[in-house]
Amino acid sequence: MLPLLATRTKIYDLGLTEWKRRKGDILRPDAWARKSIDSKRAKQINPSFQLYYQQDVGNGVQLTIKREHFLAFSPSSVPMLPIVLSVDCSQGAGSTRSFNVIQAWGRLGQDHFLLAQWREQCGYADLRSAYFKFVARYRPCHVLIEDAANGSALIADARRRARPVVQAVVPDGRPKAARLVEHIPTIRKRHILLPQDAAWRRTYIEELVEFPLSRFDDQVDATTQYLDFAATGPQLRLPESRAVGALTLTGGRVAMVNHSRIQITQAGGAVLARGRRW
């Protein structure tokens, strides 16, 4: 392995002579100017600079993910969990553009449930619409949005509402593969669970299995963003419960409760639920 920039001083035995590369030496200084290299390192490219030019997927750790590392679950079997949305945004619409991805995650012990995912090559208007639909449906307690591309505009729009908590995630400059490497043990121990009948299940698994050589890596980015957050051990709470279910009245009559509105099938009596009286 001959990285474009030497990561450490090393002596290569060439038989009749030795070749010494010092840390930071350019592999071919006749073809590469340091300014040009610095420019490529600063850009978000796929494959990443670290992988393509340095030939390193992350500090020498093998990035081997297999299909059998992902378990399936039935959505009906999962209890109500605090939900975290992880959003990775692209620059714009078009078949050559990256995908916008919204993922809804719930955690139970060491297991992480990817409850739902939306993924489209679209413009900001469609991304914004999909985001607020996810917020309405899953009522997350926390939202992670990368502060880049269209993510900056989405952060501003999302924060106009009091809830949920919206966290702007600033890219730290680490190679994408190096970020994912930190969570390989979690994946290999089968702690990432996917809905058994989800239409996006196959493409999600394929992208992670093929990464970092996959054509797109937006699902990887959203997943890594969530796992980085989960690794900090956040204290998450379920949102304030809406009135949902059936309540029995004093006289045996039933009050059917639909979200925040209550409809009593038979008049009379009083209902006291979650500290509120109707």
- Statement: residue 184 has pLDDT above 60: yes
- State what percent of residues in the chain have pLDDT above 90: 55
What's the one-letter identity of residue 207? E
- pLDDT, tens digit, 9 for 90 and up, residues 59-117: 444 578 999 999 999 999 999 999 999 999 988 777 778 899 999 999 999 999 999 99
pLDDT value, residue 55: 76
Q: What does R_g of the chain's alpha carbons equal in angstroms?
A: 25
Q: Is the pTM of this model over 0.75?
A: no
> Once rounded to an integer, what is the mean pLDDT over residues 191-218?
92
Contacts 24+ apart (CB under 8 A), 45-54: 46/216, 46/217, 47/212, 47/213, 48/175, 48/176, 48/177, 48/212, 49/175, 50/175, 50/177, 50/178, 51/175, 51/177, 51/212, 53/3, 53/4, 53/5, 54/3, 54/4, 54/5, 54/7
Q: How does the average pLDDT of the chain come out, rounded?
A: 83
Greater model confidence, 269 or 259: 269
pLDDT value, residue 224: 97
Helix (H) or strand (E) holding 236: none
> Can you tell me the distance from the alpha carbon of 211 to that of 63, in angstroms, rounded to the nearest whole number?
8
pLDDT value, residue 56: 66
> What residue spans of 80-175 are helical by DSSP H?
124-138, 151-158
List residues bridging with 169 in a β-sheet: 146
Greater model confidence, 48 or 141: 141
- pLDDT, tens digit, 9 for 90 and up, residues 130-173: 999 999 999 999 999 999 889 999 999 999 988 899 999 998 77
- pLDDT, tens digit, 9 for 90 and up, residues 235-259: 998 877 654 454 444 444 444 443 3
> Once rounded to an integer, what is the mean pLDDT over residues 37-44?
82
